[in-house]
Amino acid sequence: LTGTSREQRAFQYLLTHAIPGDPHHILQTFDQWCYHCEHLSCVGPDKGRIVERLLLEQAPLRVLELGTYCGYGTVLLAQGLPPGARLYTIEGDPRHAAVAEKVIRLAGFSEQTVELIVGPSEEVIPRLREKHGLMNANLVFMDHWKRCYLRDLQLLESHQLLAEGATILADNVLFPGAPHFLQYAKTCGKYHCKVHRARLEY
């Protein structure tokens, strides 16, 4: 009725209630909106703790996120980066990317720390090295269309965009599920697999 999307309404709530330049408060305010107003398919605080723990343990210098959506996961990743690290995030939907760009900048992250790339992942991934300067990624966070997980992992492999010992963190592989991706990861012999049990967001 308002002519605005859920994502835009969530951003207006952030503008009103969140502290600019405070990533942690940005995420808390997002959570309040999702718990009490409208559901958004963000990572959420429960699974967010798994992401935070991995960032703390590994201190990756080059991170790639597939599926920016509203920027929740991007802010979560960016706030856990070590000094000098860079995050590349890809969003296929220009409307979501427009919201995410504002959320990322509201959280205080510059383009030097977080680069948002708009376009289909299958088109962006082959250009990451040449056009965006990503030689390889230490950590990849997949949170886009589940049917694209396997295709995009194999694209990253074929373009040699995974650093030695890189971690691939993929959300929702059991539900709604990415069975082909999961089977490949478990049987191809390239990866050690671990499934983190978590509740659905919100």
Catalytic residues: 143, 146, 171-172, 201
Q: Tell me the C-alpha to C-alpha distance, in Å, between residue 10 and each of 22, 40, 44, 49, 170.
A: 17, 9, 14, 22, 25
Give the C-alpha distances (Å, rounded to integers) separating 110 from 53, 95, 115, 133.
23, 20, 8, 17
Contact 156, 171 (CB under 8 A): no
Please state, in angstroms and rounded to a whole number, the distance separating the CA atoms of residues 56 and 53: 5
Which residues sit opposite 62 in a β-bridge?
A: 86
Give me 170's structure tokens. 């993929």
> Residues near 22 by Cβ (< 8 Å), separated by ≥ 6?
107, 108
